[in-house]
Amino acid sequence: RTGFVWEGLPAAAQIVWRKAQLSVTEVVLDPDQGPAVEQLARRFDPRHHRIDLTEAPLLRLVVAHDLEENRWLLLWLQHHIVEDYSSLSAIYAEIDLLLAGQAAQLAPPQPFRTLVAQSRLGVPTEEHERFFRDMLGDIDEPTAPFGLTDVHLDGDAIAEANITLPAALNTRLRAQARRLGVGLASLCHLAWGQVLARASGRDTVVFGTVLFGRMHAGNNNALGPCINTLPFRLDLGAGRVEDSARATHARLADLLRHEQASLAMAQRCSGVAAPAPLFSAILNCRHSSPSSAASQDGTRAAQIAWISGEERTNYPLTLSVDDTDLNISLTAQIVRPHAPERICAYMAQALASLADALEQAPATPVRELEMLPASERTLLLDTWNATEAPYPEHLCVHQLFEAQAARDPEAVALVHEDETLTYGELDARANRLAHHLIALGVEPDDRVAICVERSCEMVVGLLAILKAGGAYVPLDPAYPSERLAFMLADAGPRAILTHEAAREALDAARAGLAPAPTVLDLNETAPWDAQPSTSPDPTSLGLTSRNLAYIIYTSGSTGTPKGVLVEHGNVARLFAVTEPHYGFGKEDVWTLFHSFSFDFSVWEIWSALLYGGRLVVVPRAVARASADFYRLIRDQGVTVLNQTPSAFRNLIGAQADNPGAHNLRLVIFGGEELDPSMLTAWWERAQNRDTLLINMYGITETTVHVTYCPLAPEDGAHVNRRPIGRPLRDLRLYLLDAYRQPVPLGAVGEIYIGGAGVARGYLNRPELTAER
């Protein structure tokens, strides 16, 4: 008989009417519209068919004749604000008695106001606050499994699944609960905490637990909403499983003394600042006797069959544990696209792992309890990483170039301003310099630094170092002198290649360097003009694909430059495994846009030259002026462009002022996080319709690129989505937690990469190499 009013009032009020007419609606169903149960569910879906909170009772009944099954159906719609699980159980029991002709056994109705009054005689508010401040005061971040933080949902996007635990596991859990002197609910809380810890990447988790709310009310059968959701904290990690089970039980017992506390007050006692939620997952442990549970499957009078039920909360993740003494069932609800079946499987595995540990190894740390089912662990570690692809593992990078130069020596390989070099010319010039480097004593894995401005000489120098067996160490003359000096001292190069344009920067950086390496000026070619123009023989040099191709310095997260040791094989396989995606060829025109000290340049230079394309070396001043660079793209007929997202953002702006046609067929992003929404303006322009945009995540330590992700205009609609795609065919990707265990599907973890692209290590940093 309860309704709620608030319009024109300073606060909402609960009104109990003396009389309230129960709404019972009979509807006629059309057999041609599908099964009767489904028709009812569609017509009165609670997501769209709302109950008016002002009209008591907040219960609606719909009846219909199911002609196909020759039965009557009853659809029961009730708002959670006036009932809870115990209320429904009491109603079902009363229906049982009525159908069995035992109405005389019905207990006298208990006024809900009696429960309200009794609940208010409990613990003072100050004591509640003290308790929750002690529990939550140092919690300053939400526990958000799978990154779910919206706790104001209406149930519309929720999916649900249900399983019953195996009988053997049911028996084992109860036996361990009895042995430890704890409740089964305590073990369920501990297991659920481990699920949330792995799904949120936290050792300390907070989740909502649904409390009975009648422990101090004096009547378990009174109708009305007595349940209360309150925060429950678990400190997992290194604690022993057995100790943690007892500690969980003790904390639950303490919490029960405060079951009438306000959730809003409890949340304010934490360090999580509003409006962020303290938690976004709840656990509802419900116990019922076998007889009351049977009421939902068929009454004692055998006149009613329970078909299905549905309940929703505002939380994005809910797990209900129903304990009937005979069995344990799990019901998971989670916002799509997450799968509730997985949540059930995680909890079942966590409970099984908990039972195993309590039986066999009670000193096991809680964090080691496995919650990933074997099938998902196999999926994450093996199935999705079955990435093997053949590549020319016996060849060096320059050998692949030499093969291309031999096929088409007259094709243009390089363009820089007014200078061009054919493949044949580039090969011959690099060969003469390579022979000279060999004569100076350069051997496989020796470091040869090169400090030059953007030019054709830059590419000649890089290629010559590789042909001589050395590893090139690029030094951008625009770098601060201190950084260049550090790189030179750390690399200890056998020789340094430079030219007049970079000489001043180099001389400042190498002052005091001892021993002083040989310095070669690429503008003064007389010392090697007489050397052979044929390629040095790798075999006679002892050069293989396992030798170093380059060392590029990256500051990473420490701020200290680290030289990454990349082998020829690392680079050669990169092009072999990406070739099916792109189909690079001699018709392609590339730009060398990035500094050659940035590993994106490895992709730009060698992708062009190994496939017979033309590489346009972009002058530094042009690279810094987006309008000039876009003009170069159009004038040179560039077909393949590689950009960091920030650089491309500027290029999109430049295109708006120069809207003519271009020849770009591919734009490949790398080097930074990409927000696809920034590409919307590009996709909206007609001249860009035939250009494919691809995002490739990678780091220097994994040889430029790791993943491949083609983008579409629809991706721009997802503001908070950062897609990186799938791993390249010879790499393996793992998402691991702080303990290097795989995180559940859909959870946040740190990316670990394995496979043929992983570099040899860091120069002069064996401890860091071992760590990584």
- Residue 427, Cβ density class (10 Å: 0-12 exposed, 13-18 middle, ≥19 buried): buried
Q: Tokens representing 32?
A: 């041609």
pLDDT at 299: 46
- Paired sense of beta strands 317-323 and 71-78, if any: unpaired
For residues 170-180, one letter each, b for 16 or more C-beta atoms within 10 angstroms of the residue's C-beta and e for the rest, the string is bebbbebbeeb
What is the signed CA dihedral for 609, 390, 670, 426, rounded to 10 degrees? -10
Distance CA 283, CA 375 (A): 25
What is d(CA 364, CA 200) in angstroms, rounded to the nearest whole number? 21
Residue 256: C-alpha distances to residues 29, 188, 211, 282, 315 (Å): 47, 16, 7, 16, 22
Q: How many CB atoms lie within 10 A of CB 477?
A: 23
Query: Between helices 645-656 and 626-636, what is the axis angle to 10°?
Result: 80
- CA 419 to chain CA centroid, Å, is 47
For residue 377, report the phi and psi dihedrals to the nearest 5 degrees.
-60, -45
Three-state secondary-structure class, residue 48: coil
Contact 26, 64 (CB under 8 A): yes
Q: 85 and 105 in contact (C-beta within 8 Å)?
A: no
- DSSP for 279-299, please give it: BSEEEEEEE--HHHHHTTT--
Instruction: State how far the Cα of 762 lies from the Cα of 769, in Å rounded to an integer.
Output: 6
Say which residue the tokens 């580039």 belong to. Answer: 426
Q: Are 276 and 148 in contact (CB under 8 A)?
A: no
Which residue segments constitute the domains of the chain, with CATH numbers given? 2-82 (3.30.559.10), 122-300+310-371 (3.30.559.30)
Whether the model pTM is above 0.75: yes
286: β partners: 322
A 10 A CB-CB count for 406 gives 12
Question: What is the distance, to the nearest Å, from the Cα of residue 330 to the centroid of all Cα atoms in its chain?
Answer: 26
| 3-class state of residue 11 by DSSP | coil
Task: Please name the residue ranges forming H helices in 281-422.
Answer: 290-294, 340-360, 374-381, 397-407
Query: CB 529: neighbour CB atoms within 10 A?
Result: 12
Between the CA of residue 485 and those of 164, 491, 550, 562, 595, what are the distances in Å? 67, 10, 18, 13, 18
pLDDT of residue 557: 57
Mean pLDDT of residues grouped by 10 in the chain (772 residues)? 86 84 87 87 77 83 88 83 72 79 80 68 84 93 92 80 95 96 96 96 93 63 74 91 96 90 90 90 84 49 68 86 92 93 96 97 93 94 82 88 97 97 98 98 97 97 98 96 94 96 93 88 95 96 97 78 96 93 96 96 97 97 96 97 96 90 96 94 94 96 96 86 91 92 93 94 92 80
761-762/23-27 β-pairing: unpaired
DSSP 120-172: TTSS-HHHHHHHHHHHHTT--S-B-GGG-------STTEEEEEEE--HHHHHH
Angle between helices 184-200 and 167-180 (to 10 degrees): 110
> What span, in angstroms and rounded, lies between the C-alpha atoms of 570 and 703?
6
Report which DSSP code applies to 107: P
pLDDT of residue 574: 95
DSSP 329-346: EEEEEEETTS-HHHHHHH
Burial per residue of 377-392, b for 16 or more beta-carbon CB atoms within 10 angstroms, e otherwise: eeebeeeebebebebe
Looking at residue 298, what is its pLDDT? Answer: 46
Instruction: Write out the two tokens for 99.
Output: 């159908």
Beta strands in 426-577 (DSSP E): 447-451, 471-474, 495-498, 518-521, 548-554, 562-567
d(CA 350, CA 78): 34
Cα-only R_g, the chain: 35
CA distance 225 to 217: 12
3-state class of 694 per DSSP? strand
